[in-house]
């Protein structure tokens, strides 16, 4: 307060000095010339002094990571009030937000269970998000042959091999949340509801690729994939899945992992060869 008062006092003193100077230059008995150089100069000085206020420079605020004499602990940054939760961060349903539960052995455990009912609208939403974010790697049918794989990227997971078919549905949610292998996480692009919707749609894709005639409701016409592909003008869709020559494969293909053949699900540890020392070479 003392500093602010001294600044204001100095400003008033400067204004009085300028006013006195103008009065001495232009006596009352003379007609003042507004275009006189001295008058213009004094007016400019007056405007400059009037704008030199320190109110915005000396604000009574607390800067981040600085101390403060106002609080007893002398900390400017105040700790959060105990047992408070920020708006939108009350994650009461832990499974909904993480995709895992605490198992009896203390480890996290995935479940083959959706946290909310799966309706047709949920599947449509999952299909939309899947086509936007997942198809570049996994393709529209989820076989791991997306466009960037065709251009040399590491083959993505094939949702129709035995490994992925046996995984619980929350596994897909967890991978989308945290990433896996060469796949980054998509927690920023997909909110939890959309991640679960995509997981549900992946399960629908798996069922569609392994569907049987008995799964079709009575009265619905059943067509073969070749007929549907030919009618749509893309007969190549009915051909066997093949990996392009540009795809990067770290391990030899294993036909047991589905079609197309992919690397083993649980490959053996890589062989480590230690070079011989000079004494051993002798």
At CA 205, angle to CA 202 and CA 209, rounded to 5?
A: 145
pLDDT band at residue 277 under the 50/70/90 scheme: low
Element (H, E) at 228: helix 225-231
**What kind of fold does domain 96-212+227-248 have according to CATH?**
Cytochrome Bc1 Complex; Chain D, domain 2 (1.10.760)
Confidence of residue 32 (pLDDT cuts 50, 70, 90): low
Other Cβ atoms closer than 10 A to 91? 11
pLDDT attached to residue 176: 96
Domain ranges of the chain: 2-51, 96-212+227-248
CA atoms of 73 and 38, how far apart (whole Å):
56
Q: Percentage of the chain with pLDDT > 90?
A: 27
Q: How many C-alpha atoms does 94 have within 13 Å on its Cβ side?
A: 7
Residue partners of 212: CB distance under 8 A and separation at least 6: none
* pLDDT per residue as tens digits for the range 202-219: 999 998 877 888 888 888
Is residue 2's pLDDT more than 50?
Answer: no
- CA 84 to chain CA centroid, Å, is 25
pLDDT digits (tens, 9 = 90+) for 80-132: 888 888 887 888 888 999 999 988 888 889 999 999 999 999 999 999 999 99
What is the predicted pLDDT for the residue at 5?
Answer: 46
Q: Is residue 55 over pLDDT 80?
A: no
- Residue 162, Cβ density class (10 Å: 0-12 exposed, 13-18 middle, ≥19 buried): exposed
Tell which wins on pLDDT, 261 or 37: 37
pLDDT-based confidence at residue 34 (cuts at 50, 70, 90): low
Q: How high is the pLDDT of residue 270?
A: 46
Q: What angle do CA 177, 180, 181 make, to 5 degrees?
A: 155
Scan for tokens 């619980």, then name that residue.
Answer: 168
Task: Compute how many other C-beta atoms are within 10 angstroms of the C-beta atom of residue 262.
Answer: 23
* pLDDT tens track for 129-183: 999 999 999 998 898 888 888 888 888 889 988 889 999 999 999 999 999 888 8
Q: What is the pLDDT of residue 261?
A: 54
For the chain, helix (H) and strand (E) counts, in that order, are 11, 2
pTM for the model? 0.57
- Residue 235 CA to residue 229 CA, distance in Å, equals 5
Which tokens hold the place of 225? 């994939």
- Where is pLDDT greater, at 109 or 11? 109
Q: What is the CA radius of gyration of the chain?
A: 37
**What tokens appear for 207 in the block?**
């069922």
């Amino acid at each position: 307060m003392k500093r602010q008062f001294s600044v204001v006092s100095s400003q008033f003193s400067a204004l009085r000095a300028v006013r006195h100077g103008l009065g001495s230059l232009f006596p009352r008995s003379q007609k003042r010339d507004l275009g006189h150089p001295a008058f213009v100069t004094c007016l400019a000085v007056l405007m400059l002094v009037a704008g030199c206020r320190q109110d915005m420079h000396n604000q009574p605020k607390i800067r981040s990571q600085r101390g403060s004499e106002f609080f007893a602990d002398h900390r400017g940054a105040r700790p959060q009030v105990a047992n408070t939760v920020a708006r939108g961060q009350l994650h009461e349903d832990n499974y909904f937000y993480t995709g895992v539960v605490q198992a009896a052995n203390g480890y996290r455990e995935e479940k083959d269970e959706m946290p909310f009912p799966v309706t047709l609208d949920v599947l449509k939403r999952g299909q939309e998000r899947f086509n936007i974010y997942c198809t570049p790697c996994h393709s529209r049918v989820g076989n791991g042959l997306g466009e960037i794989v065709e251009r040399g990227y590491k083959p993505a997971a094939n949702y129709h091999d035995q490994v992925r078919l046996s995984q619980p549905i929350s596994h897909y949610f967890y991978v989308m949340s945290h990433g896996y292998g060469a796949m980054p996480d998509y927690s920023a692009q997909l909110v939890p509801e959309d991640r679960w919707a995509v997981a549900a749609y992946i399960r629908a894709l798996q069922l569609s690729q392994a569907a049987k005639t008995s799964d079709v409701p009575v009265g619905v016409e059943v067509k073969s994939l070749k007929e549907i592909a030919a009618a749509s003008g893309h007969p190549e869709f009915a051909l066997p899945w093949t990996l392009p020559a540009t795809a990067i494969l770290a391990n030899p293909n294993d036909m047991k992992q589905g079609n197309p053949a992919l690397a083993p699900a649980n490959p053996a540890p890589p062989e480590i060869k230690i070079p011989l020392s000079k004494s051993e070479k002798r």
